[in-house]
Amino acid sequence: MTSFLQIQRLSKVWPGTGGKPDSVVFENVNFGVEKGEFVCIIGHSGCGKTTILNVIAGLEQPTSGVVVMDGREVAAPSLDRGVVFQGHALMPWLTVMKNIAFGVKSRWPEWSGEKVRSHCQTFIDLVGLTGAEHKKPSELSGGMKQRVGIARAFAIQPKMLLLDEPFGALDALTRGTIQDELLKIVQATHQTVFMITHDVDEAILLADKILLMSNGPRAVIAEIVENTLPRNRTRNTIFNEPQYYKIRNHLVDFLVNRSKLYQKGEALQGYDPLSPPVIRPGLEPDRPSATVVPLAPVPPSAHTTERRVAS
Amino acid sequence: MKDTLRAAVLSLLFLFTIVGAWHLATLPKDTGASSAAADDEYAKLMGKGPGAKKSEGFPTPAQMGQAIVANLAQPFYDNGPNDKGIGIQLGHSLARVGAGYLIACLVAIPLGFLIGMSPLLYKALDPFIQVLKPISPLAWMPLALYTIKDSSVSGVFVIFICSVWPMLINTAYGVGAVRRDWLNVARTLEVKSVRRAFQVILPAAAPTILTGMRISIGIAWLVIVAAEMLVGGTGIGYFVWNEWNNLNLTNVLFAILMIGLVGMVLDFMFARLQKMVTYVE
């Protein structure tokens, strides 16, 4: 079965200037996203996460490889893919309502003004901004602005949603609230989502599948971690699940110790970037190493054996 | 509010000081007219008799006030080519500025849009703009008079040429500096290029464009006076030159005051427009 969204052998190379060698940002990026799935991608800065998202959005062209969504190749931006930008990207001269209506009118140009208005209102209510319809973005807090960005993306009812670190600039409390709301909306609408994050807890709360990217340059998808927590998890109950810590430790261990091991290519035996190992932390009781964050870097050999078990 | 009041009081104080100093400086000096009765006739001939009004020299504030009242009482009279009311003269100047400025807008804003959108065009046209921009608009006057052969239209051309550069450069800069995020939003929403130009780029660049327009109207109003002194006929610049030839410094001063006031009103209008399109990020 082919996935709803397929990313096939994607790579991005910046040509070297002034005799410098070309710089490969990432290569052999290969994964799929199923319909209704929430996929997060985690990795250190500079591994090309945003470039991957932009390629999926159609805003950037990859050096090689293709993105196929719903059986069709992605060549340009489309209303089928809603994007929530890192810096909210609201138009400051428009009110909340008009910012959202801007997208709605693009999607359904034939709609009457009243229909556009009521459609926008639904999504304003959905993200909890009722009452702020006629405010300009400058009158809103950072969290509220990001909610408008989310409402704008949801309101065009895209086939999939792309979120580029949407909560990166928010304080922890606001972030938590909006994460809950996003989770609620996504669970209710069964929206397919691809999201970039730096935040391990955010990924575990929201994602069904977490892609771990190794460090750039020459970044690859190192592992695909399946979230083994039940789908009805919430931010308040997630900490009671023993599995939560197993997943969390696995992710932190990757980011702290293992993400830098992939650059050389030959360091890991049996690793194929085109089909990275799928790991389900917490469901393999015979793999104690995944549940403990080692204080000192673990030699690569220890991981290669672990990886074989995993895949 | 209290500060505004204080500032107003202080402003009035400055005004009184200036007018007071002016009054003292222009007090009629005792010319020591000779008391000899035989010389009276001679003195009268020379315009220095006791009953004669001094017509030359710098006006006193009182004379100035009378001139202002007299001029403003009949702003639109027309007694032939060299004697028209101040309203008519200002109207001619404003009409020339308006025409030249409007043509400049029609040329500079669309062209600036294109230049701002296309880095290639920007690079290609930049040398021309850099060379043409610092040329004094009056230097074009002989060329304009030769080719257009109409002094009034030449004045309009000079206004056009001086207002076009700030608008062109600011529009190109504003359009080129529109945040990538907004353009990307438009792209992901499949916004067509005309709608993108009018609903994303134009509002995003509007504050910068309006700044250029405000600079341009200021320059245009500066230049019209000089241009009309050269081409003559009508307009506030011609009025100043004509009154100088009449040695009527009172009217020259009055014209200077009016030029300042009209310039202030023009700038104020554009400041209001600018405020309307400015957004807070």
Query: In this complex, do B279 and A58 lie within 8 Å of one another by their Cβ atoms?
Result: no
Which residues in A lie closer than 8 A to residue B184 (C-beta atoms)? 59, 77, 83, 85, 89
Given this model, what pLDDT does residue A78 score?
92
- Put simply, the answer to whether A102 touches B189 (Cβ < 8 Å) is yes
B:167-196 residues touching chain A, CB 8 A cutoff: 179, 181-182, 184-185, 187-191
User: In terms of pLDDT, which residue wins out, A304 or A107?
Assistant: A107
Residue B32 burial class via C-beta count within 10 angstroms: exposed 0-12, middle 13-18, buried 19 and up = exposed
| The pLDDT of residue B272 is above 70 | yes
The CATH number assigned to the domain with range A5-80+160-310 reads 3.40.50.300
Q: Which of B185, B188, B202 to mutate to test the interface with A (most CBs of A within 10 A)?
A: B188
- Could you say which of A81, A87, A92 has the minimum Cβ distance to residue B280? A92
* DSSP, res B38: G
The domain ranges of chain A are 5-80+160-310, 84-157
Q: What count of CB pairs under 8 Å joins A to B?
A: 58
Say what the ipTM of the complex is.
0.82
Number of structural domains found in chain B: 1
CATH of the domain at B163: 1.10.3720.10
Average pLDDT over residues A181-193: 88
**B258 domain-assigned:** no
Using an 8 Å CB-CB cutoff, list chain A residues near B204.
91, 93
pLDDT of A311: 37
Average pLDDT, chain A: 85
If one compares B133 and A169, the residue with the highest pLDDT of the two is: B133
At B116, the amino acid letter reads: G
In DSSP terms, A162 is beta-bridged to: A83, A194
Distance between CA atoms of residues A280 and A141, nearest Å: 38
pLDDT confidence of residue B218: 96
Lowest mean pLDDT among A152-161, A256-265, B1-10: A256-265
A28 three-state secondary structure? strand
- Please give the average per-residue pLDDT across B122-127, as a whole number: 94
In angstroms, the Cα distances linking A293 to A12, A219, A257, A304, B40 are 32, 23, 9, 16, 117
Q: How far apart are CA A33 and CA A159, in angstroms?
A: 12
CB atoms A77 and B187 under 8 Å: yes
Q: Using the predicted structure, report yes or no on whether residue B55 has a pLDDT greater than 80.
A: no
Half-sphere exposure of B261 (CA within 13 A, CB side): 10
Domain with B131 in it:
96-232
Beta bridge pairs of residue A279: A225
Q: Which of A55, A79, A106 is most worth mutating to test chain B (most B CB atoms within 10 A of its CB)?
A: A106
Q: How far apart are the CA of B104 and the nearest CA of chain A, in angstroms?
A: 26
d(CA B219, CA B213): 10
Task: Give how far B186 is from chain A: nearest CA, Å.
Answer: 8
- Torsion, Cα A269 A270 A276 A279, to 10 degrees, reads -90
pLDDT over threshold 70, residue B14? yes
Cα distance from B183 to chain A (closest Cα, Å)? 9
- Among residues B140, B116, B136, the alpha carbon closest in space to that of B126 is found at B116
Is pLDDT at B31 greater than 70 in this prediction?
A: no
**Side-by-side strand order, sheet with A81-84:** A81-84, A160-164, A192-197, A38-42, A209-213, A221-226, A278-279
Strand A221-226 and strand A209-213: the pairing is antiparallel
B191:A93 CB<8 A: no
* Cα–Cα distance for residue pair B158/B223, rounded to 1 Å: 8
Q: Which of A296, A289, A307, A251 is nearest to A44 (CA)?
A: A251
Mutate which: B181, B189, B198, vs A, most A CBs within 10 A: B189
CB spacing of B188 vs A82 below 8 angstroms = yes
Q: How far is B207 from chain A (nearest CA, A)?
A: 11
Q: Is the pLDDT of residue B147 over 80?
A: yes
Do the beta carbons of residue A247 and residue A227 sit within 8 Å? yes
Are residues A92 and B281, on separate chains, in Cβ contact within 8 Å?
yes
The pLDDT score that the predictor gives to residue A307 is 43
To which residue do tokens 């006031």 refer? B261
Question: What's the average model confidence in pLDDT over A64-81?
Answer: 92
If you measure CA to CA, which chain B residue comes closest to A154?
A: B189
Q: What would the pLDDT profile of A241-265 be if each residue is shown by its tens digit?
A: 888 888 999 999 989 888 888 876 6
Reported pTM = 0.82
Helices (H), chain A: 49-57, 96-107, 113-126, 142-155, 172-189, 200-206, 242-253, 300-310
